[in-house]
């Protein structure tokens, strides 16, 4: 039996409980970085791209990087300490672990990873931004939080994120 994934309202409630300031802009659903570029003028801060990957031992990672960054999937396993090359995780696992569908992948999915099946990796370049933006569990909105608050959010969900240089 699977748990029903938490919704944006649950995310906002947790952020409020943690006294994390957040701002959400609602917009038409966007499925790719290219589609979301039109929103840049309206939403300041670092915009994210998220890669849900797994290694040969079925260990899962969520790589959160700046939207235009390039991640070399042939070599990133050496940075992650993963077992062999990584490949993209299946949509079923994405829903099971993070409670989101492809196109809505987000670091905020940590709220649904109660089994701690995913290692969260934040790119060090992204973490130079004061504000980090991500989908609030659906791709029809963008939620902005301060960089240090994003770290607090992850810790509050029981995840100690790795901050690594994973981009080329």
Q: Which fold has domain 8-164?
A: YbaK protein (3.90.960)
Structure confidence by residue, pLDDT tens digits, 50-63: 999 999 999 999 99
Is the pLDDT at 2 greater than 60, yes or no?
no
CB 39 within 8 A of CB 142: yes
- Asked if pLDDT for residue 132 goes beyond 70, the answer is yes
Q: What value, to the nearest 5°, has the Cα angle with vertex 86 and ends 139 and 120?
A: 50
pLDDT in tens, 74-125: 999 999 999 999 999 999 999 999 999 998 999 999 999 999 999 999 999 9
On the CB side of 104, CA atoms within 13 Å amount to 18
pTM (two decimals): 0.93
Domain-wise residue ranges, the chain: 8-164
Indicate the average pLDDT of the chain. 93
CA distance 85 to 164: 17
Banded model confidence at residue 35, pLDDT cuts 50, 70, 90 = confident
Residue 38: predicted pLDDT: 73
């Amino acid at each position: 039996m699977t748990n029903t994934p938490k919704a944006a309202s649950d995310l906002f409630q947790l952020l409020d409980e943690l006294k994390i300031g957040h701002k959400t802009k609602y917009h038409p659903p966007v499925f790719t970085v290219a589609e979301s570029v039109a929103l840049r003028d309206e939403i300041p801060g670092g915009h994210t791209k998220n890669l849900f990957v797994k290694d040969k031992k079925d260990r899962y990672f969520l790589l959160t990087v700046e939207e235009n960054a390039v991640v070399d999937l042939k070599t990133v396993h050496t940075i992650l300490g993963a077992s062999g090359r990584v490949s993209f995780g299946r949509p079923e696992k994405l829903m099971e672990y993070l409670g989101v569908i492809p196109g809505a992948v987000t670091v905020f999915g940590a709220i649904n990873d109660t089994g701690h099946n995913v290692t969260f990796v934040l790119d060090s370049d992204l973490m130079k931004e004061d504000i980090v933006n991500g989908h609030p569990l659906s791709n029809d909105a963008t939620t902005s939080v301060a960089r240090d608050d994003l770290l607090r959010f992850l810790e509050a969900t029981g995840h100690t994120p790795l901050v690594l240089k994973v981009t080329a």
